[in-house]
Copies of this chain bind each other. A is one copy, B any other.
Amino acid sequence: MNDPDFSRCIRDAGGRVTAARLAVLRCLAAAEEPLTPDEVLEHLTQTPGHVPDRVTIYRAIDWLSAHGLVRRLATVGRAARYEPVEDREAHAHFQCRRCGQTRCLPAPSPPLPALPPGYVAERVELVIHGLCAACRAGENA
């Protein structure tokens, strides 16, 4: 995805194309893992160009999320993590219980459990909890 694409996504969603939204979307798309709002800010700080305010990043993420361009993940850590909604394969997430790292795993969509009457499922999320390689090696450190 390049910038014109990002701009069009935002425009198509009915919003204004602003530096903050572009930067946030670009940052999340470039990241290998889902990021927290503060991590997005950190990345943008280390990148040439305009750095939006922290509150603006929260609002940009909220907007992107409300318009389906970005997705909030269920996380165990304190801060919410977001990833871009792309036409990628369905995938799961791994969360390390020691360092909190969250990363994407290739995985097919699991079977959908039966819901109570009247409930509607919109998305299925699979989270694997465990230890990453580094934490496993250093657990006794």
Contact = CB atoms under 8 A, between A and B. Distances in A.
Given A72-B76, A74-B76, A74-B95, A121 B130 contact: yes
A50 interface: no
Contact of A127 (B97, B107, B125, B134): B125
A5 interface: no
A123 B129 contact: yes
B127 A74 contact: yes
B92 A118 contact: no
Interface stretch (A18-26, A38-46, A53-61, A108-116): A108-116
Interface in A120-135: 120-134
A85 interface: no
B128 A126 contact: no
A137 to B, nearest CB: 7
A122 B129 contact: yes
B126 A130 contact: no
Interface of A: 72-76, 78, 80, 92, 94-95, 97, 103, 105-108, 110-134, 136-137
